[in-house]
Structure 1
């Protein structure tokens, strides 16, 4: 019979490390960010979750090994019903076969001193007053944690089993785990989330069987589990609050288009104030010369200067409109984000980025100095639709001057200013929410949280 955690007396720590600056040989794991974000939402959902949001902590992915250790120790000390620890990242093994969990500060050649040892994690779990302890590891060689937690034959002396513990790992003691290209989550955590989404609440044993069947059906390594006492009957989700039904207003794509006529109107509006200001300045300057020189012939300069200026502005406007495509259309759908440029009915250029090729996408303000913020309408229209591509995905390297050099070096690229598509920020973000899911970022702070390499001054 299943039972649920007491939300007041239970604690959870979710650890996802996707970037390893001290160990270039450890590949980045962008799917890990999605793992943690999705699992946190499942566990804390108002209708189906079993943890309170304030008691389900997401460890700072840029934190040191000590920072993560402190978060685990705090949760272990506070929990009296259920203690859940989840880790996704790289698993490392030392020369004695001991498992370590890589952090942002880990050096792969010295895991003992720079990574989180599973034997130390075991001590925190064993020392907690929680009635049930759940350890979920999504990393290579994670099956070694089962040996550490249960004291199986051949282990380091003194490693004994912990009562009331459920350990689930993505692989065996000697096998890798998988993050498949183009998938939002790693293979193991994706299957775990699918099991937690079951219409009926599943016990941990039932979740494990569902995950194992999912992975084996795809030819992936079978996960491992070990339970003591009644921990296997614990449920981490209450089932769906209501059955999923397709929305009545299902939309397959959202399009934003800035037509040529609209471009002309906008260009005229943007030129009116500067034209009037400069024309009045020229007229005033000619009048000033006429007064200072007591020579009214200077007044003839007013129509000459203003006419010449009007001719120059008209020429510039004609060149801009002539060079611009008739229409620029942004299309966001279930498979990709793309831009089409047209002249009349002919498509003159297309760029397309499938969702599987990018890690996150959002709207950022233009870099300081590229657009005057006092020109409110122009400034808002020049906010940039920005994507971060997965490693190895080709993209035109042309640098957009409105995006900072630092962000460009970190792999960020601009799709274009949102005003060029006739859209505003909220409209674009709403479309991204519909189709990009967890990849969509709404604020600059979310960019900082998603990518610890970004510093505030880069945005």
Structure 2
């Protein structure tokens, strides 16, 4: 279970932690890698970063009760302490001035770990980066690893009980998790004890505080990787937003291009039918049907194209930034219509193909342009109905909604997912298999 919290809207004093999103996404990929990972994707859950304390607690309790071989819990975010020195892990709804009632208490987490029937229990805590060049995220008491003595488990913390954690500007990950990922990508599989030594050496070589570990029984001999995975893409310069847009002229041009192949196919089919009827009836007059049928077909096609062309917006723009997904539609002189979906309302997001039977996959350009930008909304968030937009009714009933078709903005699936990766972090699901792994209610037949 991977828990990464990067945004704290209830506590302005807690800085956002954008590196945490990349922490969780890359750790999930390493642990579930086809050849180098040790977990199947269905058994590696990424907790919704906007989940409440109660929801996270229920997910942890459920995982602890179900795990038999290994229970692994990873947390990255802000660590807070109360006036008695007890450690709390900040969530999206945490108030820094009242962690006891709004954050996840490590004492309760320890109870679930201790009560689990898993043979190996692993707890990894990475608290607490601020996002500035080199900045302390909490006070010296921000992480108290002395509270984490649980029989039969392995615990690794990013720092000691009395030292803060640090982040280095311009790096893709937090310092601790970056070193952890590098250790998991070792040329040979490392045990947790060896991973710890590698992480400690890396951090100390950079003048950062030494992490801490505690192991009981043989938990330290557990390996979390089979060998090196494909390296992650190097970090790029951060951007504030990504925009995709297409005006009416470009949309009409694309529509004509999409219609050219099916129009040509039907024209040949009509000509072939006329020739066939002429041969079967031994009557050459049937050949006059070719221009007549073609003319009728061309007239109907032109009328459809005219109606569709008029319905196209003057300009369609998709904006993906640090706060929301926003769609702008401009229709002639009637102004701009805007639909904005904030990240705080989104549990996860991805791109799905259109519902079976709604678009012919053999019409490649049309099919790919009709892929759907889909969001899973958090419970209770109001949103207009998108039923019927080439989208499964079953997924609609489960709270999924369509933002738009990707072709509406002149984009493709890969471009949209790349933009989402920059801002949505672990909310982004890249494949249908990831949707299935994230939401057990979904069945393959729903796509």
TM value normalised by structure 2: 0.57
1:374 alignment partner, one of 339, 358, 362: 362
Q: Indicate the residue corresponding to 2:208 in structure 1.
A: none
User: In the aligned structure 2, how far is the partner of 1:235 from the partner of 1:201?
Assistant: 18
- Equivalent runs, 1:26-425 vs 2, <5 Å: 60=43, 102-103=61-62, 169-170=87-88, 180=93, 188=103, 193-195=126-128, 209-210=141-142, 226=147, 235-236=157-158, 242-244=168-170, 250-344=238-332, 347-425=335-413
User: In the aligned structure 1, how far is the partner of 2:297 from the partner of 2:92?
Assistant: 61
User: In the aligned structure 1, how far is the partner of 2:329 from the partner of 2:305?
Assistant: 20
User: In the aligned structure 1, how far is the partner of 2:251 from the partner of 2:21?
Assistant: 40
Shift in Å, 1:40: 5.3
User: In the aligned structure 1, how far is the partner of 2:291 from the partner of 2:171?
Assistant: 69
User: In the aligned structure 1, how far is the partner of 2:444 from the partner of 2:408?
Assistant: 26
Unaligned runs of 5+ in 1: 1-13, 17-33, 47-52, 63-86, 93-99, 107-113, 117-123, 126-133, 147-166, 172-176, 212-222
Deviation >4 Å, runs of 4+: 34-46, 53-59, 87-92, 189-194, 196-202, 237-241, 245-250
> Alpha-carbon deviations, 1:52-76, whole Å to 9, x = none?
x9689999378xxxxxxxxxxxxxx
User: In the aligned structure 1, how far is the partner of 2:74 from the partner of 2:284?
Assistant: 91
| Matching of residue 438 in structure 1 with residue 426 in structure 2 | yes
Q: Indicate the residue corresponding to 2:216 in structure 1.
A: none
3-state SS in 2 of match to 1:209: coil
Larger radius of gyration: 1
Structure 1 residues 418 and 182: CA distance shift in structure 2, 3 A:
farther
Structure 1 residues 397 and 35: CA distance shift in structure 2, 3 A:
farther
- Please say if residues 36 and 58 of structure 1, whose CA atoms lie closer than 8 Å, have aligned partners that are also in contact: no
User: In the aligned structure 2, how far is the partner of 1:401 from the partner of 1:55?
Assistant: 39
> Alpha-carbon deviations, 1:310-357, whole Å to 9, x = none?
111111110110122122211111211011111347534221101111
User: In the aligned structure 2, how far is the partner of 1:276 from the partner of 1:372?
Assistant: 16
> Alpha-carbon deviations, 1:2-43, whole Å to 9, x = none?
xxxxxxxxxxxx477xxxxxxxxxxxxxxxxx9998775798
- Equivalent runs, 1:441-452 vs 2, <5 Å: 441-452=429-440
Shift in Å, 1:296: 3.5
- Please say if residues 35 and 189 of structure 1, whose CA atoms lie closer than 8 Å, have aligned partners that are also in contact: no
User: In the aligned structure 1, how far is the partner of 2:400 from the partner of 2:423?
Assistant: 20
Structure 1 residues 297 and 386: CA distance shift in structure 2, 3 A:
same
Structure 1 residues 55 and 235: CA distance shift in structure 2, 3 A:
farther
Shift in Å, 1:243: 2.8
Unaligned runs of 5+ in 2: 4-17, 31-35, 46-52, 107-124, 173-234
User: In the aligned structure 2, how far is the partner of 1:257 from the partner of 1:363?
Assistant: 17
User: In the aligned structure 1, how far is the partner of 2:292 from the partner of 2:369?
Assistant: 35
The number of residue pairs the alignment matches comes to 323
- Please say if residues 340 and 347 of structure 1, whose CA atoms lie closer than 8 Å, have aligned partners that are also in contact: no
Shift in Å, 1:363: 0.9
Structure 1 residues 392 and 301: CA distance shift in structure 2, 3 A:
same
User: In the aligned structure 2, how far is the partner of 1:402 from the partner of 1:297?
Assistant: 43
Structure 1 residues 61 and 454: CA distance shift in structure 2, 3 A:
farther
> Alpha-carbon deviations, 1:87-112, whole Å to 9, x = none?
985669xxxxxxx96316x9xxxxxx
CA RMSD of aligned residues (A): 5.3
TM value normalised by structure 1: 0.56
3-state SS in 2 of match to 1:102: helix
